[in-house]
Amino acid sequence: MDVLEGVTKGISDLELLDLLTAPDLRPAKHGIRRRDSDLDPLLLAAAAAYGPHVTRNHYAHDFFPAVGDPRSEGAYDWTRFQGETVQARKPRLKYVSRQAPRSQRLKEQGVVVDEEKENGRAKEAADPLRRSDNLPSPTSRAAPPSSAAQSEPPSTPTTVSTPHVASSEVAKPVAEAAEVKCMARTRVPTPHGTVFLHLYHNNRDSKEHLAVVVDPAQLETTNPQIAPPIRSRSLDAVWSDSETEADRITRGAYVGRLSPTSQTPSSPEVHPDITTDVIPSPLIRIHSECFTGETIGSMRCDCGEQLDEAIRQISQPIMLPPTAGRPATIPGRGAVVYLRQEGRGIGLLSKIRAYNLQDLGHDTVTANLMLGHGADERGYEVAAAILRDLGLGTEAGEGVRLLTNNPDKVLALEKEGIRIAERVPMVPRSWQRRRHQHEHGVDEDASGLTMIGGGEVHGEDLDRYLRTKVLRMGHILPLMDDLQP
């Protein structure tokens, strides 16, 4: 080693690699014999390129109980592990640290530690765009300290030793309410008028849920807005002392219309909780992602049509009771909360498989159950948090009119504390047309109904899907059995 050390002092890793593996090693000069390395130079170089933080020896780690035990089913392949049998169970080796965390040891030694800095949190706190600030771990966080504890001055360093508590002994975290943060907002012109697209992060999952806010009156700067603006509290909040006006405007925290000549950052004070008797509660739709229906125009379901129809209905001008000095109508207002829970929460892969089971004759509910899923695996906590952030359905503000036929959605939102003033039915366009034809004897096609795809969705698959929703999922929609297709 000493010889090598003398030889290699001051030369780079690459030169060393060259020295050990080159065919024309210069033994005479360095005084050492050439030896062919068993090691692949590329492997050596790759190993040298990694930093010291990478643990390379995982074979002794207890990743999964059966791994490495050739007697167990699924040995060496944890995906095949079927669980330990009672006979085969051997005492599990568990790594338990006997050392308290560094911060605690330093405290015990009387060293004052800036914990924020130690944990690198100071920067995170100042930068709300950092992911960890917006996406806490999917497991529940511990309940925040009580206000009394928060107001206590920092304790002086003490030498009293606190026993190190194993993580399993730490008090169980209290279930938290879903929290959301609007990361960005922008104006989007649509066939139904201008909407504001809001992108949210939350503390429940790592998905980017969205809110499509219809409130074009916010673009008007000349006429005073009669209804309270639908704006995100978390977006309009000041995120840090160092945030500039340009930062705020780039993430969409502005008022009025943004243009090269108009750039007015918003302030947290732009959220009056005004309620007025003359303006109907905003129309809201909680919509779940459906790639097939919304993107490729699948006619197995009416999801694409529902999304479009919701934005259309919300965008309709609102008639006001005639009063002197007030306009007869105001622009439509409301929102579509777009949740990334594809396939009623089972995901696209399972939904595609479910479609094949439906082709075999099973309905949408049975197909889900056959795949080991629930009929509906969705949750509405994040949707409720988004509505609260937009000041919709809150105790202080207005109630909402909810566009849905699904009674479970209404109950779930009410359970989350959302005030629902009215349920507004969502009647499929093809059923509206057929009822109209039946009642008026007019052969009317779907023109006149605006839709991104240019028409309504219809067909046997759709009718079967809608019937199942009514008959097996309790959706509130009059059936069309008596009418001709």
Residues that bind ligand GTP (CB under 6 A): 287-290, 301, 303, 306, 341-344, 346, 351, 354, 364, 368, 404-406, 409, 426, 469, 475
Question: Is 56 one of the annotated active-site residues of the chain?
Answer: no
Closer to ligand GTP by CB, 253 or 314: give it: 314
CB of 347 to ligand GTP, least distance (A): 9
Closer to ligand GTP by CB, 215 or 294: give it: 294
CB of 240 to ligand GTP, least distance (A): 36
Closer to ligand GTP by CB, 313 or 341: give it: 341
Closer to ligand GTP by CB, 1 or 360: give it: 360
CB of 471 to ligand GTP, least distance (A): 13
CB of 364 to ligand GTP, least distance (A): 4
- A 10 A CB-CB count for 469 gives 20
Closer to ligand GTP by CB, 253 or 339: give it: 339
State how far the Cα of 388 lies from the Cα of 232, in Å rounded to an integer: 9
> 236, 302, 376, 463: which one is catalytic?
376
Question: Is 376 one of the annotated active-site residues of the chain?
Answer: yes
CB of 217 to ligand GTP, least distance (A): 26
State how far the Cα of 210 lies from the Cα of 372, in Å rounded to an integer: 29
> 185, 300, 378, 434: which one is catalytic?
378
- The pair of three-digit structure tokens given for residue 170, joined into one six-digit string: 């730490």
- The pair of three-digit structure tokens given for residue 269, joined into one six-digit string: 């004070």
- Residues identified as active-site: 376, 378
